[in-house]
Amino acid sequence: MPLLRTAMLWMARQRQLEALVRAAPPARPLVQRFIAGETLDEALAAVRQLNARGMTATLDVLGENVADAREAQAAAETYCHVLDQIAASGVESTISVKLTMLGLDIDPALAQRNLEAIVDHARRLGNRVAVDMEGSPYTQRTLDLFYALHPRYGDHIEMVLQAYLYRTERDVEDAIAHRARVRLVKGAYDEPPTIAYPSKRAVDAAYRRQLERLLEHGHFVSIATHDEAIIRAARGFIRRMGIGPYKYEFQMLYGVRRDLQEQLVRLGEPLRIYVPFGRQWYPYFMRRMAERPVNLLFVLRAIARG
């Protein structure tokens, strides 16, 4: 249902709709399912619960596209504070950052300085930073920044590649050549067919191809999907090829397919949960709604009742 998905992703960019969703009490349980809270304490409590269930985490401070250098620097400081609190509380969690939140729209050099400060801090604490991938206008700049830092920071920094982009086959080969740690996702943004596979079937096939390549020849791959068929195929490939657990982990989003999360842990697979928190949850929340069009009905019903 690509039309519904496009509509949901359009809604994710509409500030007036954000006010409606925020003001509708019936939307709250739905938001709480995907967002671990608005404060760091709430998020750390959620991570503690995941750890107790045998899962590690990666914390994401919600926010995108800052327009002011001070805001970008404040975001970097917030992330360093999150790293300190992860260390102090003893939970098992890395962090995930978005470069637009660190100033990429203002000046790539500013975003690089902010990212460097965070990764440097993470390295001192023995932790790691994943650089989330945003919409296609940012793909090349995000990879450039990643590769600028990777020689110095190695496994303290992880990149994200989106299987739906045609260019990703090439980016996978670069990542293999650089021995970079990769999180492979299908891709969450609305991209035109000139640069991305338009059908789910083609995206799934691309994901499988790229995943096998990374599992066989890559340094480390985070298999970030809730797609049961892909997970089953990946586990089969891993077993057949004799690939050890030091070369991969599974990753899923907070609140999505909790049954499948439990199942993977029971099977003894390494699993990390992406845990978003913060006040600016609306665009992230709407992207999650877009991944399952039936969710649109829940949102509209909540607005109508609110």
Ligand X SMILES: Cc1cc2nc3c(=O)[nH]c(=O)nc-3n(C[C@H](O)[C@H](O)[C@H](O)COP(=O)(O)OP(=O)(O)OC[C@H]3O[C@@H](n4cnc5c(N)ncnc54)[C@H](O)[C@@H]3O)c2cc1C
What does the alpha-carbon distance between residue 143 and residue 55 come to, in Å, rounded to a whole number? 28
Query: Would you count residue 162 as binding ligand X (CB under 6 A)?
Result: yes
Is residue 26 within 8 Å of residue 301, measured between CB atoms?
yes
The binder of ligand X chosen from 185, 206, 215, 238 (CB under 6 A): 185
Query: Would you count residue 57 as binding ligand X (CB under 6 A)?
Result: no
What does the alpha-carbon distance between residue 175 and residue 268 come to, in Å, rounded to a whole number? 27
Is residue 58 within 8 Å of residue 96, measured between CB atoms?
yes
Which has the closest alpha carbon to 18: 286, 278, 306, 254? 286
3-state secondary structure of 218: coil
Number of H helices, E strands in the chain: 13, 8
Query: Would you count residue 288 as binding ligand X (CB under 6 A)?
Result: yes
Binding mask 215-244 for ligand X (x = CB under 6 A): ---------xxxx-----------------
Which has the closest alpha carbon to 72: 102, 106, 104? 102
What does the alpha-carbon distance between residue 61 and residue 184 come to, in Å, rounded to a whole number? 20
The binder of ligand X chosen from 43, 160, 196, 215 (CB under 6 A): 160
Contact window for ligand X (CB under 6 A) among 10-18, 109-117, 184-192, 239-247: 184-192
Query: Would you count residue 292 as binding ligand X (CB under 6 A)?
Result: yes
What does the alpha-carbon distance between residue 57 and residue 275 come to, in Å, rounded to a whole number? 7
- What torsion do the CA atoms of 231, 236, 238, 241 make, to the nearest 10 degrees? -150
Q: Of 189-208, which residues contact ligand X (CB under 6 A)? A: 189
Q: Which of 5, 105, 128, 132 does the annotation list as catalytic? A: 132
Indicate the residue among 150 and 186 with the shorter CB distance to ligand X. 186
Q: Which of 5, 181, 183, 287 does the annotation list as catalytic? A: 183
Indicate the residue among 13 and 124 with the shorter CB distance to ligand X. 13
Indicate the residue among 112 and 225 with the shorter CB distance to ligand X. 225
Binding mask 128-157 for ligand X (x = CB under 6 A): ----xx------------------------
Return the structure tokens found at 260. Answer: 């499948």
Catalytically active residues are 132, 183
What is the binding site for ligand X (CB under 6 A)? 132-133, 160, 162, 185-189, 224-227, 251-253, 256-257, 274, 288, 291-292
